Amino acid sequence: MAIEEKEEHVKIDEQRASHHSEKTKKNLMTRLNRIEGQIRGIKGLIEKDTYCDDVITQISATQAALNSVAKILLEGHIKSCVVERIQQGDYEVLDEILTTFQRLMKK
């Protein structure tokens, strides 16, 4: 899913922060709320002694949903934060993004 609206980035108390467009933020919150519901559902399945393979299938679906959220955030991060920092001559962001990729790929 492409992020069509440019996202703004500001510094708060000397820490980096980003402000996502309202459309992106709403999309992310909807997805995260759905994931939260999936987690509650998984807990319920375990409480009901549901067959293990069925629970694992639900866990897999939840992980895929989380990966989808991460992809949206990563796309926005690269298109805005990373590009902006490179334009400012801050090439340390390249090491940061490589570390981020490594963290995501471990999963």
In a domain, 87, yes or no: yes
Q: Which residues constitute the domain of residue 27? A: 22-105
In a domain, 13, yes or no: no
| Cα–Cα distance, 86 to 92 (Å, whole number) | 8
DSSP calls for 13-52: TTEEEEE--HHHHHHHHHHHHHHHHHHHHHHHHHHTT--H
Give residue-wise pLDDT tens across range 13-27: 346 777 688 999 999
> Residue 72, CB half-sphere, CA atoms under 13 Å: how many?
22
Please give the distance of CA 58 from its chain centroid, rounded to a whole number: 19
In a domain, 11, yes or no: no
With a CB cutoff of 8 Å and minimum separation 6, the contacts of 2 are 75
In a domain, 12, yes or no: no
In a domain, 27, yes or no: yes
Give residue-wise pLDDT tens across range 71-91: 999 999 999 999 999 999 999
Total domains in the fold of the chain: 1
Of 81, 79, 70, which Cα lies nearest the Cα of 103? 70
The average confidence (pLDDT) of the chain is 87
Question: Is the full-model pTM beyond 0.85?
Answer: no
In a domain, 34, yes or no: yes
Do 94 and 78 meet the contact criterion of CB atoms below 8 Å apart? no
In a domain, 32, yes or no: yes
In a domain, 71, yes or no: yes
Q: Is the pLDDT of residue 7 over 90?
A: no
CATH value at residue 92:
1.20.58.1000
Give residue-wise pLDDT tens across range 43-76: 999 999 999 999 999 999 999 999 999 999 999 9
